[in-house]
């Protein structure tokens, strides 16, 4: 199975959850948060896209350590919104979504605010 997956060992066998599944969950959940303006590219992601490397996880990094899901999300916040409030809400939303959908209770979410988006 893929290296970038978390393995849940059960009596009847193992369950592998891909990093891409977690990224998809994160993108859907974070879009529901008021004041969230979008995901921001990590350093180097824009360069990778320019040379033709597709980055599925734009603004989201997922790691698996000791049966714990660690999510780093890089966001932009809408102008006029409380940065700390939006970041906390993103963190809480992602924790509850990932835990409820995967059934894995050990999760950490780090929110990085990269910028402010103004209305056009």
Residue located via tokens 């409380």: 82
Asked if the model's pLDDT at residue 52 lies above 60, the reply is: no
For residue 9, the cross-strand partners are 14
- Specify the number of domains making up the chain: 1
User: 55-101 pLDDT, tens per residue?
Assistant: 546 789 998 888 789 999 999 999 999 999 999 999 999 999 999 99
CB neighbourhood size of 21 (10 A): 16
Closest to 89 measured CA to CA, from 41, 27, 29: 29
Interhelix angle 19-30/83-102, rounded to 10 degrees, is 130
For position 39, which CATH number holds? 3.30.70.1350
Judge whether 107 lies within some domain.
Answer: yes
Judge whether 11 lies within some domain.
Answer: no
* pTM attached to this predicted model: 0.80
């Amino acid at each position: 199975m893929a290296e970038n997956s978390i393995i849940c060992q059960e009596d009847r066998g193992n369950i592998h959850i891909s990093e891409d599944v977690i990224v998809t969950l994160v993108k859907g959940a974070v879009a529901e948060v008021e004041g969230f303006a979008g995901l921001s590219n990590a350093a180097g992601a824009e360069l990778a896209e320019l040379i033709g490397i597709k980055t599925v996880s734009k603004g989201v990094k997922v790691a698996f350590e000791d049966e714990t899901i660690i999510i780093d999300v890089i966001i932009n916040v809408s102008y006029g919104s409380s940065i700390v409030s939006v970041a906390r809400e993103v963190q809480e939303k992602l924790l509850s979504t990932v835990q409820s959908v995967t059934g894995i209770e050990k999760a950490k979410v780090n929110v990085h605010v990269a910028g402010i988006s103004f209305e056009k």
